Structure 1
Amino acid sequence: MHTMWKGTISFGLVNIPIKLHAATENKDIKLRQLHQECKSPIEYKKRCPVCDREVDHEEIVKAYEYAKNKFVVLDEEDLQALKKEQEDKAVEIMDFVKLEEIDPIYFERSYFMSPNEGGSKAYGLLRKALEDTGKIGIAKIIIRSKEQLAVVRVYQNTLLMETIHFPDEVRNVQEVPNVPEDIQLSKKELSTAVTLIDQLTAQFEPEKYKDDYRTALLDLIDAKRNNEEVTTAKDRPKPDNVTDLMEALEKSLEKTKGAKKKTTKRKTAPKTKKKTS
C-alpha cells in the first residue's frame, strides 16, 4: 500500500512514528474529450491573455488575489520553507472526545495509519487506550500543503486518521434558502411516516449497496469494444523543416527588435570628393 505521508504523532510524552495510507479510492470512470471531427484528444494549454502566448511552467508564479485584479505574489521558496517548517513538527493529539459529538458534515477523507520502524508498541498502546475509553483523538496535520484538522480512531484493529473540516469551512445552515419552519402535520401523517421508516429499518451492510451507474457504464463500454465500435486518434502532424525554420526566424526577429531599440545608430564619416586633374 502506497505511503503518502510519514512522520510522528504524539499524545502526552508518547511519540509514535507512523505512515499514512489512503483508506479509500475514487472509482469514477474517467472519460476523455475528443475532437468530434478527427477523434483526437483535446489539449488544455496555459495561455497569458495579455502577452497573447502560451506560458511555460517556469514562467508561472503563485499569488493571492486580495481584491479585483490586485495580487500578492508568493515566492516558491517562501512557500516551501513555510511548508517544511510545519511538516517538521510532530503531529500532536490535542484533545480526546467522543465520536458521536462530531456531526458527519465535518468528515472529509480517511487514511489508514501504520506504525513506522520502532513504533509498534506505542501504536498498540494508543489503539488499546482508545478502545477502552471509547474516545477519539483530535489533531492537526499538514497534508499536501494544507493544514488539516483530523481525528484518530480505531477501525477494525487499525488506527485510522480522518481529516475533518475546520468550523469556518462548514457553511452557515441559516443561509440555506426556502427551508420551512414549523409545519402543521396531522397525527395520522406522522404515524404513517414513522411506520414506513420502521418497515425499512435494517442493519447497515455496506456490501449490499452497489454503484449501478458505474456498472452500467462499464457494460456499455465493453459492449462497444466487443462490437468494435472503437476509434484510434490520428498521429499528430510533424512540422516540416520549413516550418521549423520559419518559427526559429520569427523568434529571432522578436528578440532582435528589442535589442535594436536600445542600441544607438552608428555615425558614418562623410565621404570626401576626389580631386580631378
Structure 2
Amino acid sequence: MAARPSWNGHLRLSLVACPVSLFPATTSAHDVRFHLINPETGNRIRTKTFDADGEEVERKDLVRGFEIEKDEYILLTDDEIKSVRLESTRSIDIERFVDAAEIDRIFWNDPYYLVPDGKAGVDAFVVIRTAMESAGKVALARVVMGTRERIVAIEPREVGMLLTTLRTHDEVRASDELFEDIPNRKADAGMIEIAERIIAQKQGSFEPSEFTDRYEEALRALIASKRDGDGGGTKSAPPREDNVIDLMEALRRSLEGSSDKPAKRVAAKAKPAAKAKPAPKKTPPKAPPKKAPPRKRAASR
C-alpha cells in the first residue's frame, strides 16, 4: 500500500516554485500496541463521549472551545478556523539560509521527506535542491501542519530533500533552574585521565541497526510465550543498584573490565601502551640475572 502524504502544497524559492508532498520519515508501525479488554468477557472496551450533565453525545456533533473563564468557552467551528488560514497552509516559502551548526539540536523535532508532487514540478524541484546543495546551507521556512504553523529546516538528502520541523523558543524549557544546583568545580585530573581512556576504549561508529528497543522486544517475547501456551515468558534481570563509594576505584574497574577488542585497538592508537601501564615497564624481573652466570660457567667447563 502506497504511503499517504502528510501535506501537499508548493515549495517556493523566490520566483521558482514546484508542487511537493511531505511524507513522515519515521514510523511507529512496529510499536507494540495494546487495547483495553474486559477480562470477564474478553470484549474490547469502547469509549463513549458524555458532557458534564451525563448526556451521551456524538463526536461528529462537537465543536472546539477555548476557555476564557472557568467553565466559559468561546466556540469555534471548523469553517471559522479555516477562515484564518495563512499562506503557509498551502506553501513552503524559503525565507533564509543558515549554517546547520547554528541550529541548536534541542530545537530539531520531526523529520519528513520532501518530494516532488507529480512530474510537472520535477525540473523546478531539482533546480532548488541542486542550488541548496551547492550553497551548503540549511533553508528555513514556515508551513502550517495540522492547526499550527511550524518553522522548518530543509536540506538536500540524496536526490530528494529532508524537511525537519523545529521547536519554537517558547517550547524549549530554560536549563538555568535545573542546572543551578550543579556545582561548578574542577574534577580530579587523575579521574579525568582514566575516564578519557575509557571513552577511547569505547569509540566506534554509529550503526542504527545495532540499537533496538529491548523493552519492546521483551514485550513481544512475553506475548509470544503466552500465545504458545507457556504462560510466563522470560523474566529480565532487575536493574543494577550499584552503591559506588570509591569513584577512583570504580573508574579503574571500568577501565580494566572492558572486553571490547576493536575498541582497545582504537585506544592503543590514541595512547601508547607504555603510558597506559607504566608500572610493568619500569619493574624488570630480578631472578633471571642471578641464575644466568652459573649456567655460563657450567657451559665453559
| Aligned mate of 2:32, from 29, 32, 38 | 29
Give the counterpart letter for 1:46 in structure 2. Answer: T
CA RMSD of aligned residues (A): 2.1
Q: Give, in angstroms, the shift of residue 55 of structure 1.
A: 1.7
Aligned match of 2:95 = 94
Note the C-alpha offset of 1:228. 8.7
Q: Write the distance in 1 (CA, Å) between the matches of 2:181 and 2:18.
A: 47
Trace 1:1-277 onto structure 2 (pairs within 5 A): 1-26=3-28, 27-49=30-52, 51-83=53-85, 86-88=88-90, 90-117=91-118, 118-176=120-178, 179-227=181-229
Paired residue secondary structure (2:83): helix
Whether the 8 Å CA contact 1:83–1:145 is kept in 2: the answer is: no
Q: CA deviation at 1:80?
A: 2.1
For 2:115 and 2:88, how far apart are their aligned partners in 1? 21
Q: 8 Å contact 2:88–2:142 — kept in the other structure?
A: no
1:33–1:42 Cα contact (<8 Å) kept: yes
Assess, with a 3 A threshold, how the Cα gap between structure 1 residues 57 and 101 changes in structure 2: closer, same or farther.
same
What is the TM-score with the length of structure 1 in the denominator?
Answer: 0.75
* 1:143 Cα deviation after fit: 0.9
* Gap runs ≥5 in structure 1: 230-277
Q: 1:99 is aligned with what amino acid?
A: A
How big is the shift at 1:221?
1.5
Equivalent residue pairs, number: 227
Contiguous gaps of at least 5 residues in structure 2: 232-301
Alpha-carbon distance, 1:84 to partner: 7.1
**CA deviations over 1:179-202 (Å, ceiling 9, x no partner):** 403034111122222222222121
Question: How many angstroms apart in 2 are the aligned matches of 1:181 and 1:132?
Answer: 45
Q: Counterpart of 2:152 in structure 1: which amino acid?
A: A
